[in-house]
Amino acid sequence: MPQLHPHLYEIAATFVRSGEVSSVEPLGNGNINNTYLVTVSDEAVSSETPSTQRFVLQKINTQIFRQPELVVRNMQVLSEHLDNSAADLSRRWEIPRILPASTGESVWVDEFQGYWRASTFNER
């Protein structure tokens, strides 16, 4: 198992709007990006039935993707296009959606010039 980034929980928290990061686990065994499944617990919903949400966090490999902002922008354009096209289709399309960081940007850069993006996690 690869060693986790020492600030992974703090990086994941950058993409959380409500609740706290309860776990960050490696997701898959990709060859290009470091990918993690983040679980967020929101106790504010109800102490009896707290909600849990999950999202995907990726550190973009800038040796492969020299312009990580453009990679994320392409994903956003595809998502918007499919949203507009799906209304005419008889079946439902589920694709990951980019989640903004607390800065409002789609890509967050850490202190070591690591580029991070977050997207929704489709449970199926």
Nearest to 17 by CA among 38, 37, 42: 42
CATH of domain 8-120: 3.30.200.20
Q: Out of 4-8, 55-59, 61-65, 117-121, pick the least confident.
A: 4-8
Q: Look up the pTM and report it.
A: 0.82
Q: Out of 9-13, 20-24, 82-86, 105-109, pick the least confident.
A: 82-86
* Largest separation between any pair of C-alpha atoms in the chain: 47
Q: Report domain extents, the chain.
A: 8-120
Residue 29 phi, psi dihedral angles, 5° rounding: -140, 55
For 33-74, write each residue's pLDDT tens digit.
999 999 999 865 555 555 679 999 999 999 999 999 999 999
Per-residue pLDDT at 79: 84
Per-residue pLDDT at 122: 85
Q: Which long-range contacts (CB under 8 A, 24 or more apart) does 99-103 make?
A: 99/15, 99/55, 100/15, 101/14, 101/15, 102/14, 102/15, 103/14
Please tell me the distance from the alpha carbon of residue 51 to that of residue 61, in angstroms, as a whole number: 32
Cβ pair 114, 70 in contact under 8 A: no
Q: Which two tokens stand for residue 12?
A: 């994941």
Cα-Cα-Cα-Cα torsion 86, 89, 90, 93, nearest 10 degrees, comes to -30
Answer yes or no: is pLDDT of 92 > 90: no
Q: At 49, which amino acid appears?
A: T
